[in-house]
Amino acid sequence: MDADVIVIGAGIVGAACAHALAQAGRRVLVLDARIGGATGAGMGHLVVMDDNPAELALSSHSTAQWRALAPRMSKDCAYSACGTLWIAANEEEMAEAERKQQRLRAHGIESRLLDGAALARAEPALRNGLAGALEVPGDGILYAPNAARWLLAQGGDSVRIEHAKVDAIADDGTLRLADGSRRTASQIVLANGIEATALCPELPIRPKKGHLLITDRYPDTVHHQLVELGYVTSAHHSDGDSVAFNVQPRPTGQLLIGSSRQFDTTDPAVEAPILARMLQRALDYLPGLADLTAVRSWTGMRAATPNGLPLLGKHPWREKLWLAVGHEGLGVTTAPGSAHLLAALMNGIDPEFDEAPYAPRGLLETA
């Protein structure tokens, strides 16, 4: 097959791009080095985030796409429409929950405020005395590695996958592979996550390490993805280590517990001190976790940009090259919206939301 487009990387973002391009009638070659990445390490929470209008547009467009895909998705993608509960520990955070509701409402996203008693009824495992929560029922979860495989498979004959490592991108857009061979197409999409800077050192992407831990099966312990409202403040520090309460009920009955954020380390080792801080934070909200058995803990690297938005669009000076990188802690959520935007731009069509905030040009000028 002669490909119109080559996508570098078969994580959730590359897979979504290949899927969107195939749907637009393109023949796509996907090159993946099988070194793995964030898609295999993350939580798979599909969540509308509203720190800024661009993040809200991308994440809400994306969660709507996931909901539309969900009925067709294979069972092993483990999609669940569990919704999110943004937990307010005190009155200040409850006021923040109300502001959040207003922002979501202005964007047409349904949500519901729960007072302390309603929260206790919804999630009896939470500690007593919490102020309340904002429930966002349209959020969900999925198992991203299988969702990526499923998206690639939807392309049928239009998507071909080759297991190969790209070593360099020449000035004319030709790709040099690790085995010395070359590949070329009229358009190339860079979607290789944290490895993007190995091929394009000019990209302003830094690793942000995260720890996760999963328990044995304890069905019905919690029902929604639970996140502390304080998460927003702790997750967006650009320096220093932080932890936040974030627990996901897996369809298996297991509990996936996050989350931590650390800059300036590429060491994948599980670090006991940060894991302990993260678990202590989780225990502050769900004291019963202390009696459960943990099965495994691991880490992953998020690809963080200075402004927290992914780089989506044409590379300012590299020929043929399009970027779909820098998705940080939201790439599973935002993969379909990113792919929609990029495929539209690559085909010269107006996307369904404004592309300007993600355009690579601005970031590269300040880099």
Ligand X SMILES: Cc1cc2nc3c(=O)[nH]c(=O)nc-3n(C[C@H](O)[C@H](O)[C@H](O)COP(=O)(O)OP(=O)(O)OC[C@H]3O[C@@H](n4cnc5c(N)ncnc54)[C@H](O)[C@@H]3O)c2cc1C
37 binds, among other proteins, ligand X, none (CB under 5 to 8 A by kind): ligand X
Q: Which is nearer to other proteins, 172 or 291 (CB)?
A: 291
Q: Return the residue of 76, 91, 92, 216 that touches other proteins, per CB under 8 A.
A: 216
Task: Determine the distance from the C-alpha atom of residue 151 to the mean position of all C-alpha atoms in its chain, rounded to a whole number.
Answer: 15
Identify whether the C-beta of residue 28 lies closer than 8 Å to the C-beta of residue 34.
Answer: no
Among ligand X, other proteins, none, partner that 313 touches (CB below 5 to 8 angstroms by kind): none
Strand 132-136 relative to strand 112-115, pairing:
antiparallel
38 binds, among ligand X, other proteins, none (CB under 5 to 8 A by kind): ligand X
d(Cα 256, Cα 81) in Å, to the nearest integer?
16
Report DSSP state, residue 36.
Answer: -
Cβ neighbours for 235, distance < 8 A, ≥ 6 positions apart: 242, 244, 259, 261, 329
Write the CB contacts of 313 (distance below 8 Å, at least 6 apart in sequence).
322, 323, 341, 342, 345, 355, 358, 359, 360, 361
Q: Residue 293 binds which one of other proteins, ligand X, none, with CB within 5 to 8 A depending on kind?
A: other proteins
DSSP run (H or E) holding 336: helix 331-346
Amino acid at 269: A
Tell me whether residue 74 or residue 186 sits nearer to other proteins (CB atom): 74
Report in angstroms how near the CB of residue 106 gets to ligand X at its nearest: 22
β partners of residue 162: 31
DSSP 188: E
Residue 172 binds other proteins, judged by CB under 8 A: no
Among residues 165, 217, 223, 277, the one that binds other proteins under rule CB under 8 A: 217
- Closer Cβ to other proteins, 145 or 329, answer by number: 145
Residue labelled with tokens 């990387």: 9
73 binds, among other proteins, ligand X, none (CB under 5 to 8 A by kind): none
Answer with the entry of other proteins, ligand X, none that 250 interacts with (C-beta below 5 to 8 A by kind). Answer: none
On the CB side of 164, CA atoms within 13 Å amount to 21
Burial of 63 (0-12, 13-18, 19+ CB in 10 A): buried
CB of 232 to ligand X, least distance (A): 14
120 binds, among other proteins, ligand X, none (CB under 5 to 8 A by kind): none
Binding string, residues 285-314; x marks residues near other proteins by CB under 8 A: ------xxx-xx------------------
User: Where on the chain is the footprint of ligand X (CB under 6 A)?
Assistant: 8-14, 31-39, 41-45, 144, 165-166, 191-195, 210, 212, 258, 300-302, 327-333
The binder of 12, among other proteins, ligand X, none, by C-beta within 5 to 8 A per type, is: ligand X
Q: Based on CB atoms, which residue is closest to other proteins, 252 or 347? A: 252
Question: Which one, of 16, 52, 79, 46, lies nearest residue 340 by Cα?
Answer: 16
DSSP state of 127: P
Nearer to ligand X, 16 or 131 (CB): 16
Backbone φ, ψ for residue 284 (5° rounding): -60, -30
218 is an interface residue for other proteins by CB under 8 A: yes
H helices present in the chain, as ranges: 12-23, 53-69, 91-106, 116-122, 144-154, 196-199, 231-235, 272-285, 331-346, 360-366
Q: Which is nearer to other proteins, 293 or 366 (CB)?
A: 293
| Bridge partners, 207 (sequence order) | 303
Kindly report the number of other CB atoms within 10 A of residue 283's CB atom: 15
Residue 241 binds which entry of other proteins, ligand X, none, CB below 5-8 Å type-dependent: none
Minimum CB–partner distance for residue 349 and other proteins (Å): 44
Handedness of CA 203, 209, 215, 216 (dihedral sign): positive
Q: Which is nearer to other proteins, 149 or 217 (CB)?
A: 217
CB of 39 to ligand X, least distance (A): 3
Question: Which CB atom, from 42 or from 132, has the smaller least distance to ligand X?
Answer: 42
Q: By CB under 8 A, name the binding residues for other proteins.
A: 216-218, 291-293, 295-296
